[in-house]
Amino acid sequence: MNDSKQTTLEAEKVSHNYGDIHVLENLNFKVNPGELVTIVGPSGCGKTTLLNILSGHLRPVGGKVISNGIIRTVYQQDGLFPWLTVGENISMGLRSMSEQERQKELDELIKLIHLEGFKDHYPHELSGGMRQRAEIARALAGESDILLMDEPFSALDYQTRLRMRRELVRLLALRQRTVIFVTHDIEEAAQLADRVFVLSKRPATISREFIIRSPKPRNLTDNAVIAAMKAILSQLGLQPWDGNTSHIFDENSKTN
């Protein structure tokens, strides 16, 4: 199935522009198997463009993406097919299995995301949080290797969002995946990431990159999370750097 060691996702000198607008400028990175990388950056800096390039929906103008494994994207909202039930949506990635295997996997996934009893409901009959959980289950189903998450919780209310972060950590512990998680939510990045890429304004480059070593799940008020938030905020120019390089996370600052 998803043998994490085989999974690769790598950007090599990736640049992109829409006509005269340079969006991405020489991005280089490699995502390790089973790692969760969050990408934060000012709005409109090209985060979604980067995801579209990584998923293969968009060809970069310069450079290339090297990937190995099945890539699936989790969208902000409305990614589920409204004409299919929750069960049918999740089964989309299980079509190659035998009927028996499929039922088993489907039931397991439904249980995993705590949507028992909602298998035959349609997406419009569910709350936003339930829909996103179903969408994550769909992306996890079967043999996916890499998840690209495009602000998957940003359409939810604050408390649901907090709960969903915990859910995601729990699910990924059970079903390991390589994840790129794009968000504008700094808390979310600090709570979920193994590694954070902070993008600069357009044309976006990785202006800073650091590792958060603290184990997960992390509480919003953990020192490691707060320290990471400080680093991100100061890098985005939203808060002055207080000079306190607490040793909660390793830094390897990069300016490409």
Partner 1 sequence: MKQTPRKKAEIVLPMIVILIFLLIWYSITYFKLVPAYQMPGIADVAKSFKEEVMAGRLANDVIASMWRVTVGFVISAILGIPAGLWLGQHTRLRYALTPMFNFFRFLSPLAWIPFAILWFHIGDKPAVFLIFMATFFPLAMSTMTAVASIPSIYFRVAKDYNYKGTELLTKVTFPAVLPQIITAMRVSYGIAWVVIVAAEMVGCQDGLGYGIWDARNGLRLDTAVTYMVIIGVLGMLMDRLLSQLTKLRNVRWGYER
Contact positions toward partner 1, by CB under 8 A? 55, 57, 71-73, 75, 78-79, 81-84, 92-93, 95, 122-124
Is the Cα dihedral 184, 188, 193, 198 positive or negative? positive
Helices (H), 85-157: 86-90, 99-112, 128-140
Strand order through the sheet with 8-18: 21-31, 8-18, 62-68
Nearest approach, Cβ of 19 to partner 1 (angstroms)? 20
Nearer Cβ to partner 1 (7/73): 73
Nearest approach, Cβ of 149 to partner 1 (angstroms)? 13
Spatial neighbors of 237 by CB under 8 A, at least 6 apart, are none
Nearer Cβ to partner 1 (81/241): 81
Nearer Cβ to partner 1 (92/248): 92
Nearest approach, Cβ of 52 to partner 1 (angstroms)? 9
Nearest approach, Cβ of 84 to partner 1 (angstroms)? 7
The residue type of 102 is R
Nearest approach, Cβ of 101 to partner 1 (angstroms)? 17
Q: Over the range 86-116, which residues count as b (16 or more CB within 10 Å of their CB) and which as e?
A: bbbbbbebbeebeeeebeebbeebbebbebe
Nearer Cβ to partner 1 (55/239): 55
Determine how β-strand 62-68 pairs with β-strand 21-31. unpaired
Nearer Cβ to partner 1 (70/233): 70
